[in-house]
Chain A
Amino acid sequence: MSMEASELQDLSDDADYAASQQQGSASMMRCDSEKRSSSSEHEGAELIYTKDNVAIHPTQFASERISGRLKLTKQDSVLFLSWIPYKGEIPNAKLSDKDRSLYTITAVPFTEVRSIKRHTPALGWQYIIVVLSSGLAFAPLYFYSGGVREFLAIVKQHVFLARSAEDTNVLLVNDFQSPLQRTLSSLELPSSLPVASGQSTYPSDGGGSSNDNRISILSQYGLRKQKSHDPTRDLSIHLLEKFSLVTKFARETTTQLFSENNGFGSIDKRRNNQPVHSYPEKLSNIAEEKHHESSHSYPETDRLDNEEISNDIDVPADPLEFNNLSLVWGKPRQSPMGREEFTAFLDSEGRVVDSKALRKRVFYGGIEHQLRTEVWPFLLGYHAYDSTYAEREYHRSVKKKEYEDLKLQWKSISAEQAKRFTKYRERKGLIDKDVVRTDRAFEYYEGDDNLNVNIMRDILLTYSFYNFDLGYCQGMSDYLSPIMFVMEDESESFWCFVALMERLGPNFNRDQNGMHTQLFALSKLVELLDTPLHNYFKQNDCLNYFFCFRWILIQFKREFEYEKTMLLWEVLWTHYLSEHFHLYVCVAILKRCRSKIMGDQMDFDTLLKFINELSGHIDLDSTVRDAEALCICAGENGAASIPPGTPPSLPLDDGILYPQDDDIL
């Protein structure tokens, strides 16, 4: 009997091990059980390759790295990969055998491997990431003594490897599909989801399982799966597995970013070490069942996680938040992009050479304030990325003239004409009332007779003529305020605002259609990413998601302080991971509060009030990281949950943009 099989038995009554099997190597579990039943095991397996000193890094701490041996074996012409941590090596008391077994890779057949990503930096350790057909990924395997190339060469002798068109460091295994099919299927459910069979392989009735939430939840899922084939249920199981694995994967990548950095390293560490430092603590909790960390330093919002649920209400577990691990695991936020860095994105004539790279950079760190004037117009689509300095200068001057002309349209309305122009009077009245109620505590707009308040009024009034169908609606001034503060020029502010409204105008439709589609998409995303929470909202008549109305209407402007709002906006406006990243931000915040919401059994009113009062208490960086993680995790399924044309996507057809009702304004 092979080493891995004996380990399996040693730990078979171990809840953690079972859970790790469920999440970690779900797809191979099936083949394990098959093999066990045929009792041939690995006896006839031919050893192809072994490599010592291959390690995984569960945390960024050197002391918690786990070394082991990587092996390739072959049986019945199928190649298997395994990685077994060295026994008895106790690098750190915090890391128990359980932790280590969590990472064990027990003979995965290459028929179930989708791809291998290799990293062979000139400096630092080489590593590979093995991604399974199901979309799951194992933690990166670090080759301390080198040899990734040789490893791949050997693999190549036994299976078909093809370089991915998208990333030359990704080697696709046995990939005979067309590229299109590949993308389409990359995130779909494997046709035979190994849940039902998985259920039979872990001891749901074993010792200690009754006080182990995870097991009971999993069995519950398994049972329900057997009863009815609810596709969303399948998906959430799938995500459950995927997320927990990817969680580890991402933590690795995080670590990686920290160790072999790219210029922002030192600053990153200073700015971001807080959330990162919480990982090892979180990780150590894997073994200590439901141990609620209490006093580690963590952003304020952690309070919201409500680790101490006051009453006995049994809050359904977050399917994505296995083992009480924190969700915080998107890439660490970088420091804002500075001028030098930005200049490097431009060619000699001022074109942005690689707009995607620029958007990525902004997505991960935002922009230094002084630079926003230059970058926001690109993000908003006012300037084209491929425009030159000269073209932009010209564009500005043309637009300035155009703005002055537009402004003249209402400037030239005489008092006599105004008397006969109710719509104009009403709009002007509304705008006059609202500009004096917009960010007046912020110094740029404070004080009596503030010039900027007047400019804001002029811009909004001009906009209501430029887009007479949409007109003016409350909330617009919330968007305009930071734009003016950044652009510091009336015409430029106007056109940036226009560009923003091209996408977000539907938020202000008379019929609120744009808002309703977004709230609907949000409900779909929550259903996908947190089915129990979705069900809770459903049962409590909260499915209209009106409690997120303000978040979406003005993209969290009232939830964060001014500077943070600008940072969030530029992240959202990159459309880097998704045009609808703001919806993932909503999901991220809701997930942080899920146990509070469900534990307190909040009804609609209570929930609305609770969400309102989160304002000023949300940690932006960790929320964005959660959202990033959720967005990646949801993948194609997330995108598919969002109906086409949902703002800020551009409208589907170019019919009437802003449907008119015929009363009042």
Chain B
Amino acid sequence: MSYAYLFKYIIIGDTGVGKSCLLLQFTDKRFQPVHDLTIGVEFGARMITIDNKPIKLQIWDTAGQESFRSITRSYYRGAAGALLVYDITRRETFNHLASWLEDARQHANANMTIMLIGNKCDLAHRRAVSTEEGEQFAKEHGLIFMEASAKTAQNVEEAFIKTAATIYKKIQDGVFDVSNESYGIKVGYGGIPGPSGGRDGSTSQGGGCCG
């Protein structure tokens, strides 16, 4: 399937906050309680539509443990969006947000759109971080914010799409030079959803960005 734009996303945050589950919920619309912990990085992709334009999201799901930070840093390059995830039932995952943000600011491009997600909001009875605190942190750091649940799918779709919409708006506003792929955006075939030319975005290098 052809796309008008391809956005690279990266999902970051402490281990166990539900990054992989969020990705799976978004790409496959299911919650799988039994899955393997992430080593290195894993990939997901899905098409969405914004402003009638097909947009392909290529999502990088990273390993969260501290030891792997140095390698995770190399994945920021060329990401247009980031989902920064914490677990509302574990305070420390919220406390570590600042250091994640620092990594992102240092290693991603300055215009990267960051969505803060307080995950596992289905576990409200075990909540350790209030919604207000999350909102406050997001406001202070200029992030978009949502609480979500990979388990119930609440706000999952919204989080990914809202991030894309924000990026899309930045493109419209001319914030990005879309021909520069370091912004994590690849331009497809002028947004015309061609009659399945067999060309899948994930394998098309540059997708005709120069044409």
Contact = CB atoms under 8 A, between A and B. Distances in A.
A549 B37 contact: no
B209 to A, nearest CB: 13
Interface string A523-551: 00000000000000000000010100110
A609 interface: yes
A424 interface: no
B37 A437 contact: yes
Given A439-B36, A474-B37, A474-B39, A606 B67 contact: no
Contacts of B202: 609
A612 B68 CA distance: 17
Nearest to A473: B67
Interface stretch (B40-48, B170-178, B187-195): B40-48
Interface string A203-231: 00000000000000000000000000000
A605 B36 contact: no
Nearest to B63: A474
A636 interface: no
Residue from A474, A601, A665 with most neighbouring chain B CB atoms (10 Å)? A474
Interface stretch (B69-77, B126-134, B136-144, B146-154): B69-77
A208 B46 CA distance: 50
A467 to B, nearest CB: 14
B52 interface: no
A430 B66 CA distance: 11
Dominant secondary structure of chain A at its interface with chain B: loop
A510 B39 CA distance: 15
Contacts of A478: 39
Given A605-B8, A606-B205, A558 B39 contact: yes
A619 interface: no
B77 A474 contact: no
A440 B67 contact: no
B125 interface: no
Given A437-B35, A546-B74, A609 B43 contact: yes
Contacts of A515: 71
A171 B37 CA distance: 55
B15 interface: yes
Contact of A438 (B37, B43, B70): B37
Interface string A501-529: 00000001110100100000000000000
B210 interface: no
Contact of B40 (A434, A438, A550, A601): A550
A433 B16 contact: yes
Interface in A153-167: none
A554 B36 CA distance: 13
A510 B66 contact: yes
A512 B67 contact: yes
B71 A509 contact: no
A510 B36 contact: no
Contacts of B63: 474
B40 A473 contact: no
B180 to A, nearest CB: 14
A180 interface: no
B39 A553 contact: yes
A512 B71 contact: yes
Interface string B18-31: 00000000000000
Given A478-B39, A550-B40, A601-B205, 6 more contacts: A437-B35, A473-B67, A475-B39, A512-B70, A515-B71, A546-B71
Interface of A: 426, 430, 433-434, 436-441, 446, 473-475, 477-478, 508-510, 512, 515, 544, 546, 549-550, 553-554, 558, 600-606, 608-609, 612-613, 663-665
Interface of B: 8, 15-16, 34-37, 39-43, 58, 63, 65-68, 70-71, 74-75, 77-78, 92, 202-203, 205
6 nearest interchain CB pairs?
A437-B37, A550-B40, A440-B34, A433-B16, A474-B65, A549-B40
